[in-house]
Amino acid sequence: MRTATALGGSACAGWAWAHHGWSSFDQDRPLYLEGRVAEVRWRNPHAELVLEVPADLQLPADLARRELPRQSAPVDGAALLARTGLPTRKDTRWEVELAPLFRLNQWQMPQIATGARVAVVGFTFKEEKGDALLRAEYLFLDGKIYGLRSAPA
């Protein structure tokens, strides 16, 4: 029994180490990505996508005017979209962290399939070293917008 407890505890420690808190991300610099989903990992602690982004990525002209879902999270979505820009790094493959599966189920978000076209607004690390990683705040999929830090209103 002690061996099972020790193994279970060490597995949980690995999950906690791999999970990033919001404080690691630059929330003053929202970024926009869109492209084709190359890989999907639909699991906890949060779902993840690998997004193939075109080299000529551009901000949509209507991004700042998009209607966002009402949310309970203290996020000023309109202001966030108004200051969203493109990444300075030129990676064409980005790891995108979504919300935990519980939150995605609350939103009734369908499981995203490889090959799907999605757009996201989110945040990268404060220091842009290492992998191209974006933590999603909003996900645009099939004409719907999902607010990933809050429950549906």
Task: Answer yes or no: are the C-beta atoms of 53 and 91 closer than 8 Å.
Answer: yes
- HSE (side-chain half, CA atoms, 13 Å) at 34: 13
Q: Which CATH architecture has domain 21-147?
A: Beta Barrel (2.40)
Q: Using DSSP, state whether 46 is helix, strand or coil.
A: coil
Residue 151 confidence (pLDDT) = 74
Which amino acid, residue 63?
Answer: L
Q: Which two tokens stand for residue 118?
A: 């999605």
Residue 134 confidence (pLDDT) = 94
Across the range 36-51, mean pLDDT stands at: 96
Residue 12 pLDDT greater than 50, yes or no: no
Residue 38 confidence (pLDDT) = 98
Q: Using DSSP, state whether 85 is helix, strand or coil.
A: strand
Task: Answer yes or no: are the C-beta atoms of 37 and 135 closer than 8 Å.
Answer: no
Residue 68 confidence (pLDDT) = 87
pTM for the whole thing? Answer: 0.82
Give percent above pLDDT 70 in the chain: 78
**Domain boundaries of the chain, sorted by first residue:** 21-147
Matching residue, tokens 């996020």: 75
Distance CA 1, CA 146 (A): 43
Task: Answer yes or no: are the C-beta atoms of 32 and 84 closer than 8 Å.
Answer: yes
How confident is the prediction for the chain on average, in pLDDT?
Answer: 83
pLDDT in tens, 77-106: 889 999 999 999 899 999 999 999 999 999
Bigger pLDDT: 140 or 8?
Answer: 140
Q: Which residue spans within the chain are E strands per DSSP?
A: 31-41, 48-52, 93-97, 117-123, 133-141, 144-147
72 confidence band (pLDDT: 50, 70, 90): low
